[in-house]
């Protein structure tokens, strides 16, 4: 299902989500320490790469936002072999990991799979740094999505292209229902609806935003395998989650309830809503007024764009 968003100013988007920042930091720490990024991230990257033909221009530089967890480096190098790869990481541990991958010996397969990229912290990314900003499975971990979208627009060159994926609110509905049955609170922080993300894109100044989504169903042979993979994917960052540590008795109840939900094949199924979005970064256009102030950065961007007005949405 695909939706082109109308060219009208929606209601103002909210700012920060109600998310436990310390819990998000623990998730990022686990990703930095894990041998590989989550399997689902790599699968979503493959599916998102199938949408790259919509970009006809060849970017000189590609920004991989949260590069390690995005699991997209090989796909982007294959698609854009001549482009500079800029890997952006959110924490010192992830920065160190990506830089270590780039400093492997010249004969190491690990170096040629992930080396040769410039690795930057989020605060180090210069304005207009790349023609494509690729953010796979990032936005649902953002504490302040509108602020992150504004940062993405600043990092993109004029007429640059944003492609991203994130998890939508139908993700793990079965697990939420199970927790409700057990009276166990929330198993995860609420996720942002794709229409709200589209509104945020418009407010951030992006042009031609298009959103679509698909449902993926994953199955596991045992409750233990399911819980282990969910922990690899993230953690419960909902401030409304049950406080304190769970007891062994609680874990036994949870695993028994999961086992009861197994299908005829003996496997336990959970659905994930994966949301995809793309948009352009248009040239800035000052508001018309009796007196208009235009920043020097905006003037330079308009000069680089040849004075072109922002791209208009497709009908």
Position with higher pLDDT, 295 vs 77:
77
Q: What confidence tens digit (pLDDT) does each residue in 130-151 have?
A: 999 999 999 999 999 999 999 9
* pLDDT over 50 at 72, yes or no: yes
184-207 per-position pLDDT tens digit: 889 999 999 999 999 999 999 999
Q: 2-168+191-214+274-282: what CATH class?
A: alpha beta
Beta bridge partners of 133: 63, 162
- Return the minimum-mean-pLDDT range out of 67-71, 100-104, 299-303: 299-303
Residue 290: its pLDDT value, please? 57
Question: Using one digit for the tens of pLDDT, what is the confidence trace for 201-245?
Answer: 999 999 999 999 999 999 999 999 999 999 999 888 888 887 777
Q: What is the 3-state secondary structure (H, E, C) of the chain?
A: CEEECCCCCCCCCCCCCCCCHHHHHHHHHHHHHCCCCCHHHHHHHHHHHCCHHHCCCCCCEEEEECHHHHCCHHHHHHHCCCCEEEEEECCHHHHHHHHHHHCCCCCCHHHHHHCCCEEEEHHHCCCCCEEEEEECCCHHHCCCHHHHHHHHHHHEEEEEEEEEEEECCCCCHHHHHHHHHHCCCCCCCCCCCHHHHHHHHHHHCCEEEEEEEEEEEEEECCHHHHHHHHHHHCCCCCCCCCCCCCCHHHHHHHHHHHHHCCCCCCCEEEEEEEEEEEEECCCCCCCCCCCCCCCHHHHHHHHHCCCCCCCCCCC
Q: What angle do CA 54, 60, 64 make, to 5 degrees?
A: 75
Mean pLDDT of 34-63: 93
Q: What is the rounded distance in angstroms from the CA atom of residue 282 to the CA atom of residue 243?
A: 45
Q: Which of 52-56, 156-160, 209-213 has the lowest mean pLDDT?
A: 52-56
User: Using 50, 70 and 90 to split pLDDT, how confident is the model at 281?
Assistant: very high
């Amino acid at each position: 299902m695909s939706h082109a968003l109308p060219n009208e100013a929606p209601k103002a988007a909210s700012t920060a989500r109600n998310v436990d920042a310390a819990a998000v930091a623990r998730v990022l720490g686990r990703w930095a320490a894990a041998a590989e990024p989550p399997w689902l991230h790599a699968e979503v990257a493959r599916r998102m790469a199938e949408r790259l033909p919509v970009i006809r221009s060849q970017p000189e530089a590609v920004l991989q936002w949260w590069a390690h967890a995005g699991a997209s480096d090989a796909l982007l190098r294959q698609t854009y072999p001549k482009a500079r790869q800029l890997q952006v990481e959110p924490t010192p541990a992830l920065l160190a990991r990506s830089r270590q991958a780039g400093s492997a010996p010249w004969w190491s397969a690990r170096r040629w799979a992930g080396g040769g990229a410039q690795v930057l912290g989020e605060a180090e990314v210069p304005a207009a740094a790349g023609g494509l900003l690729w953010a796979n499975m990032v936005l649902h971990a953002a504490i302040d999505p509108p602020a992150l979208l504004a940062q993405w627009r600043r990092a993109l060159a004029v007429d640059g292209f944003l492609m991203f994926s994130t998890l939508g609110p139908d993700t793990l509905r079965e697990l939420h229902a199970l927790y409700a049955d057990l009276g166990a609170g929330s198993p995860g922080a609420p996720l942002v609806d794709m229409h709200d993300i589209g509104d945020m894109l418009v407010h951030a100044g992006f042009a031609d935003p298009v959103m679509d989504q698909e449902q993926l169903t994953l199955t596991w042979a045992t409750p233990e395998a399911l819980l282990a993979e969910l922990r690899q994917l993230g953690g419960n960052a909902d401030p409304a989650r049950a406080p304190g540590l769970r007891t062994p008795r609680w874990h036994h109840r949870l695993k028994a309830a999961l086992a009861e939900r197994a299908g005829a094949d003996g496997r336990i199924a959970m659905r994930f809503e994966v949301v995809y979005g793309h948009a352009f970064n248009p040239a800035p256009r000052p508001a018309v007024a009796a007196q208009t102030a235009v920043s020097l950065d905006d003037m330079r961007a308009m000069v680089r764009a040849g004075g072109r007005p922002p791209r208009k949405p497709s009908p």
